[in-house]
Amino acid sequence: MSKKIKYLISALFVLFVVIIMMMRYQFYNKDEAMHILLEDTYRYFDDHTNRETGLTRDRIDIEENDVKTYNQTSPTNIAMYLSSLVIAAEAELINYKEAEEKTALVLNTLDSLDRWNGLFYNWYVVDSKEQMTDWGKFISSVDNGWLTAALMVSAEYFYNLESHANDLINQMDYSYLYDNNIDRLYGGFDVEQNQYTNHHYGTLYSETRMASYVAIGKGDVPSDHWWKLDRTAPEEFDWQRQVPKGKFVEKENTQMFQGYYELGEERFVPSWGGSMFEALMPGLYINEKKLAEKGLGANNYQHVKLQQNFSEQKGYPLFGFSPAAIPDGYSEFGVEELGMSGYDDQATMTAHAAILAIDYDDESVKNSFKIMKEKDMYGDYGLYDSINLLTEEVTHSYLALDQGMIILALGNYLYNDIIRVYFHSHPYGKNAEPLLEEDFLLQIGN
């Protein structure tokens, strides 16, 4: 090879590297504020995860001269940490090997935790890994659903850990939480009392659809379970906020009412409480925007739009209503009109509820982020949990769950749906995809 050709190849390679670096710089610069928020949010998991157990503390409250730390964790918190490691590796906050090692530690810890039919209890002590029994010995259907989803992502992303993660997933048997008499999941099982909850999860448009999706994907429960879930409560249930409209359709030999509510000229399928996390959290894993364009994805868009409209009508400077930390604890917030029952907003806006909407209206979310910073909602680990929009009192707390929702929403937005891609590349994620083809009759744009 001549010197000229070698020189030309070298020059082209240098040019290629420069172009890639410029593209990355432009991409980063375009969403610089969101990258910084992602990095600061991840720091919560880095600082408040035990180095020996890999378990993340549930919450911290920052007071004047003190930080109150909650030394318990849940399956959902563990799920948020596992998926944050995938995003941290993609964002180059840590390298792939370090993320893999941290994930392996969590998997080893999960192996050692007390379980029931492979399913995890609601609370564990972060430092000792012991089951925390202050509130009984409870197995939560929805909390286990989040952990299964996160393990599916870890199994696909960390190829050296695939077998280990899948072993844990396959041991999680949702058939033990399924009521064959009405084709619905129980809320959970009280091991100490040896009894199931009196309630079942019967609403499709809720955070609980995550557990239903993975249980069907695994084959632990039949796929027609999905069609037995209410889109609205039945017409004869006069306690709900409005009489639903719609029609009966047949799915997998199951007659179901394809119901919806109306708010002005807008149609939507309600959640239970009208909160953003019920609406959008499952979409952090399930690619509802792309795979359920006429169903869940369209409904997600409607809930974002209608929450924004609600804030505008109330004269609030921010939108995003969802269960959140408050100065004296924790409470449920939502937009009443968007729920079958509906939570009161109480003028309390929570940061995760706004960031969850970034896939559906990124410019509004970025504008809200600026306003939140102006209202002193930003601290060492990103956005504080909530603010009262009337008094402007900020709750100086960070919750692992809410931090997780923020980092997953940002990770998907900035890194090409990364969590969703790996979730759907898992066989169990792919198995249930036909469920997403439903048309909610919302007629958006018609």
Distance CA 129, CA 111 (A): 11
Indicate left, alpha or beta for 95 from its phi (over 0: left) and psi (-120 to 50: alpha): beta
Determine phi and psi for 90, rounding to 5 degrees. Answer: -65, -35
Short-list 352, 401, 342, 356, CA closest to 372:
352
Residue 15 corresponds to which tokens in the numbers above? 């040019």
Q: Strands 119-120 and 178-179: what pairing?
A: unpaired
With tokens 């959902």, the residue in question is 76
Residues 402, 385 contacting (CB under 8 angstroms): yes
Distance CA 394, CA 385 (A): 8
CA dihedral 242, 296, 90, 427 (to 10 degrees): 130
Helix then strand then coil, % of the chain, to nearest 5: 50, 20, 35
With tokens 């939570």, the residue in question is 343
Distance CA 3, CA 270 (A): 69
For residue 237, the one-letter residue type is F
Distance CA 60, CA 58 (A): 7
Q: Is 325 exposed, middle or buried (0-12, 13-18, 19+ CB in 10 A)?
A: buried
Element (H, E) at 394: strand 394-395
Question: What is the Cα Rg of the chain in Å?
Answer: 22
Handedness of CA 382, 388, 392, 393 (dihedral sign): negative
Q: Give the bridge partners for 171, in sequence order.
A: none
User: Where along the chain do its domains lie?
Assistant: 1-30, 31-437
pLDDT in tens, the chain (446 residues): 666 665 666 656 656 654 554 544 444 455 999 999 999 999 999 999 999 999 999 999 998 889 999 999 999 999 999 999 999 999 999 999 999 999 999 999 999 999 999 999 999 999 999 999 988 899 999 999 999 999 999 999 999 999 999 999 999 999 999 999 999 999 999 999 999 999 999 999 999 999 999 999 999 999 999 999 999 988 888 888 899 999 999 998 899 999 999 999 999 999 999 999 999 999 999 999 999 999 999 999 999 999 999 999 999 999 999 999 999 899 999 999 999 999 999 999 999 999 999 999 999 999 999 999 999 999 999 999 999 999 999 999 999 999 999 999 999 999 999 999 999 999 999 999 999 999 998 977 65
Give me the half-sphere count of Cα atoms (radius 13 Å) on the Cβ side of residue 314: 21
Residues 156, 162 contacting (CB under 8 angstroms): yes
Distance CA 82, CA 157 (A): 11
For residue 231, the one-letter residue type is R
Distances from the Cα of 169 to the Cα of 111, 164, 213, angstroms: 11, 9, 14
Residues 300, 283 contacting (CB under 8 angstroms): yes
Query: What would be the CATH architecture of the domain defined by 31-437?
Result: Alpha/alpha barrel (1.50)
Residue 275 corresponds to which tokens in the numbers above? 């909160």
